[in-house]
Amino acid sequence: MKSKVAVLKTSAETVLNDYIELVKIADIENTLDKKCTTILKDNISWHLPMPSANTTPWQLEGTIQALKKFGFQQIVAVENKTVVTRPKHGEKLNKFDIVYSKYKIPVLYNFEERDMKWIDYKPKSQLRALDKIFPEGIRLPDYFFGKNIIHLPTMKCHIYTTTTGAMKNAFGGLLNTKRHYAHSWIHETLVDLLKIQKEIHSGIFAVMDGTTAGNGPGPRTLKPVRTDLILASSDQVAIDAVAAKIMGFDPMQIDYIRIADEEGLGNGKLENIEIVGYDISNLKYKFAVGDNLASRVGDLLWFGPLKRLQKLFFRTPLVYIFVLASEIYHDKFWWNFKGKKVFEEWKKTSPWGRLWERY
C-alpha cells in the first residue's frame, strides 16, 4: 500500500495557512486520536539559532493552529537535552517560548522528574541494536505512553546519518542523555525506535520545515539553502525518503531508510510513495554532507579504529573531555567565526530570516 507525503511550496506571507493546508492533505485527522493528548516534539539540534538546524517558530505556530482547527485540544510540548545542547536556552534563542506562550502550550522536559519518570520497557518487536547497546534494559519516559506524537524536524544533512528528519527526531525524546552510546549503530537504533514508537503511541505524525534547508556537515555546522518547502506525513520513513530525494540523495542508499523499508515500518522506495501538493520531480538540489572537526573525530571513535575503546571514552568520566571539546568547537569557535555571520546575513537577505525577526 502506498504512503502519502504532502509537500507544499510556501512563502513567508502564507506559511501559517499553508501549514494548515499541509497537515489536512496529509490526513492528520485520520492518523491521530483526538481523544488523546498530542505531544509536539520539537527539534533543537543546537541551542544557538543556526538557520535550518532547529524547528522554526512558524513551523510550531502553523502546526498548533492546524491542531486547534481540526479539533485537537490537548496539546503539550516535550523537549529533551543532550550532552551538548541546552534545551531551555535553545527554547528561548529559537523563539519557541514565544509561540508556546501565545497558544498556552505547556512545555515538559523528559529530563525533569517532576514532568515524567523513566521506566523499564520490554519491546514486543525484535530489535536490531538497542537491547545490545543497553543490556541493562531499555528505559523510556512514562509520559509518552498512550499519546499522539508529532515530530517537528527540519530538512537537513547529518554527519552520521546523511540526512536527519522524522525518524531521527525520536532519538532525543525516547532515549536519555546516554543516547550517544548508540552512535556506532545509529541506523539500526533509529529503526528500533520507530518500532517502539508504533508500540507506545496512539498515533505518529511528522511535520517537516524545509523553508530553509541545511546543506553540509549537519546537524549544526550547516550551509542554509532557501527551498521554500514544507512536508507532512503519517509515514516517518516516507517523509524522510522524500526529504532525502529533494536534497538530491537516493533514499534507499541511506541505511536507516532502507532498513525501515525492508522491515515494513514504512515506505522508503519512492515508487511506493504518493507525493501530493507540489511536484518535486524538477528539483535539482545536490546537497553533500562533507566533514567538519566533529565528524572527523566521530569517524575515528564511532566507526573507525578507536571504536573498540568506546567504553573507555564514553562510559567513564572521560566523556566530559569530549563534551567540553564539542562546546569549544561549536559554540566558541565555529559559531563566533562563521555561524553568527551566516545567521546575521540570513536575517537580512532571506524572507525567512526577516520573518524570524518578526517573532
Write the pLDDT tens digit of every residue in 35-69: 999 999 999 999 999 999 999 999 999 999 999 99
Confidence bin at 334 (pLDDT 50/70/90): very high
Average pLDDT over residues 318-322: 66
Q: Specify the range with the lowest mean pLDDT, choosing from 171-185, 204-218, 274-288.
A: 171-185
Pairing type for strands 273-276 and 3-9 reads parallel
Q: Specify the range with the lowest mean pLDDT, choosing from 236-245, 250-259, 294-303.
A: 294-303
Confidence bin at 307 (pLDDT 50/70/90): low
Confidence bin at 296 (pLDDT 50/70/90): confident
pLDDT of 351 > 70? The answer is yes
Distance separating alpha carbons of residues 292 and 299, to the nearest angstrom: 11
Q: Residue 299's pLDDT is what?
A: 66
Q: Specify the range with the lowest mean pLDDT, choosing from 165-169, 184-188, 217-221, 283-287.
A: 184-188
pLDDT of 128 > 60? The answer is yes
State percent of the chain over pLDDT 90.
Answer: 80
Confidence bin at 86 (pLDDT 50/70/90): confident
Average pLDDT over residues 105-115: 93
Grid coordinates of 332: 566558541
Average pLDDT over residues 217-233: 97
Average pLDDT over residues 199-204: 98
Distance separating alpha carbons of residues 164 and 5, to the nearest angstrom: 16
pLDDT of 320 > 90? The answer is no
> 240-249, 286-295, 318-327 — which one is most confidently predicted on average?
240-249
β strands within the chain, DSSP E: 3-9, 38-42, 75-79, 107-109, 118-121, 138-141, 148-152, 154-158, 162-164, 203-215, 223-233, 273-276
pTM as predicted: 0.93
Q: Residue 199's pLDDT is what?
A: 98
Classify 178 as helix, strand or coil. coil
Q: Which domains does the chain have, with CATH numbers?
A: 3-291 (3.40.50.11440)
pLDDT of 157 > 90? The answer is yes
Average pLDDT over residues 292-302: 67
Confidence bin at 228 (pLDDT 50/70/90): very high
Higher pLDDT, 320 or 57: 57
Alpha-carbon dihedral of residues 333, 336, 339, 345, nearest 10 degrees? -160
pLDDT of 313 > 60? The answer is no
Cβ–Cβ under 8 Å, residues 211 and 200: no
Confidence bin at 83 (pLDDT 50/70/90): low
pLDDT of 310 > 80? The answer is no
Q: Residue 149's pLDDT is what?
A: 98
Average pLDDT over residues 291-297: 72
Distance separating alpha carbons of residues 65 and 59, to the nearest angstrom: 10
HSE-CB for 263 with a 13 A CA cutoff: 20
H or E element that contains 345: helix 340-349
